[in-house]
Amino acid sequence: MGKEKVQFQLKTPKGTKDWEGKNMVIRDRIFSTITDVFKRHGAVTIDTPVFELKEILSGKYGEDSKLIYDLQDQGGELCSLRYDLTVPFARWLAMNPTIQTIKRYHIAKVYRRDQPAMTKGRMREFYQCDFDIAGTYDPMLPDAEILRIVCEVFKGLGWEGRYTIKLNHRKILDGIFEVCGVPKEKIRTISSAVDKLDKLPWEDVRKEMTGEKGLDGEIADKIWSYVQKKGGRDVLEFLQSEASMSSNASMQKGMEDMDLLLTYLEAFGVLDKVEFNLSLARGLDYYTGVIYEVITEGSAPPTKEGQKIQHAAKKEKVKNADDDGSDDPSVGVGSVAAGGRYDELVGMFSGKAQIPCVGISFGVDRIFSITKARMAADKGAAAVRSNEVDVFVMAFGGKGFTGLLKERMAVCRVLWDAGIKAEFSYKLKPKLPAQFKSAETGGVPFAVILGEDEQAQGKVKVKEMGLPEGHPEKDGVMVLLKDLASEVRSRLRKKADDVVAHVVEPTNGLSIAELDQAPKIGDGGV
């Protein structure tokens, strides 16, 4: 008897996806933009294993610890997939005690057994781009630079004016809880409840505080009178004017830090991008000082009613953690970047002197999700090229046309040697319309056209694709073969400059022009 044919269910696991084509182009340009900013600020990169010993990750993420993927026992070691890139970095610092200061970046996948919403970038396997500054410095200087980096990244992504950095301080939040009468052992768990105010209405958060976590109702209401406040330096002045707050030791330290930070952010020219928001708590246990997250219009559910629906839906779906909430309008993308200061995390591993740290993590998949949605709204998705080829080398001829294959290959070699991206048809005798179609399908900006007569004169024709009828160079221009590389480079540079000059409103996300003829890596293009 023959073997039975095995039937496979061909799909990716829920909360994961394959990446290809134009999606990869957009994502890679996001990576390039972020990496360029990181390097601009002097960072070096490291890499760590995709899984850690379970004990390394345990107890670092508060209530989110339930989202960690545990692995089976292998050789007597209990391991878990990494939940973020911060704890592995702290473990790495503890293992390398000679390194006391470092600016580090790390771009890698992390894993969370969370409720997936694929079209909104909420996934179980996703990339994070982290930038951290470790070392002992004068207060708030590294923190201010981190927030400057955030603004540079989103400017490079074309999001200027379309995001807000919510900012708070753990010591200020702890001071509010202490003054309001929250028992010390409940401070972290109440902090986690407050952190949900961007997703749930106050009534639901209050119910969690009092019903699930046993907090007195009067204390909860007192907390609400503070955490609903947001703004700029006026929030700091309000806290400073409150005698009960200004006399609290934790609050005093937090207010000193925030006063300095706001001053430095003004010097860096990014003060207008931040919102001092007392409801921001960040649920992770390892934060000790300034905390922040970046939100945009897609970050939260659109209405209070939608928030209530979301909360109810979560309760209904507890039994099936694999449901994909992509189509639920009440589910927001969430923050697109977040971070803060964590001065005690390294010491948890080393048992020796602490190495203060502060950092930011960008959620690439969430950034991609919002970018794609904006492009669709702007009808710009079709302009994304699947490759970055600059020149398509083609040939034509009359009766007895040989295809000029070796000549086309030689021209490509010249262009490649000059660092210019080029392609040619793999057919021996390609038809000219088919060659033009290949170039147009790929969005290639220039064609180099070889003809037998021109070849005899040592010349080729350079044609810019897509020029309108009547343009003086519609049919191309003749150049000497020996000058081809410099001519193409010059035209590519001019085309890139024209694109930049015509992008009148970069705040409209990734414009069609930026994506179609984008500046290359290092030019700040997405």
Q: Which residues are annotated as a binding site for L-histidine?
A: 84-86, 112, 128, 132, 282, 286-287
Q: Which tokens in the block code for residue 212?
A: 């699930």
- C-alpha dist (Å) from residue 512 to 46, 120, 372, 437: 34, 22, 12, 21
Going 290 to 224 to 212 to 338, the CA torsion angle's sign is: negative
Rounded to the nearest 5°, which phi and psi values hold at 330? Answer: -85, -5
Q: Which residues contact 454 (CB under 8 A, 6 or more apart)?
A: 460, 461, 478
Q: Count Cβ atoms within 10 A of the Cβ of residue 316 and give its class: 0-12 exposed, 13-18 middle, 19 or more buried.
A: exposed
d(CA 295, CA 20): 27
437: Cβ contacts below 8 Å, ≥ 6 apart = none
Token digits of residue 318: 């507890």
| Nearest partner of 205 among 335, 235, 215, 170, judged by Cα | 215
Structural tokens at position 303: 């209405």
Beta bridge partners of 74: 77
Distance CA 192, CA 178 (A): 15
Tokens 């993590």 -> residue: 361
Residues contributing to the annotated binding site: 84-86, 112, 128, 132, 282, 286-287
Cα–Cα distance for residue pair 224/228, rounded to 1 Å: 6
- Return the exposure string of 145-160: e unless at least 16 CB atoms fall within 10 Å of the residue's CB, then b: bbbbbbbbbbbbbbbb
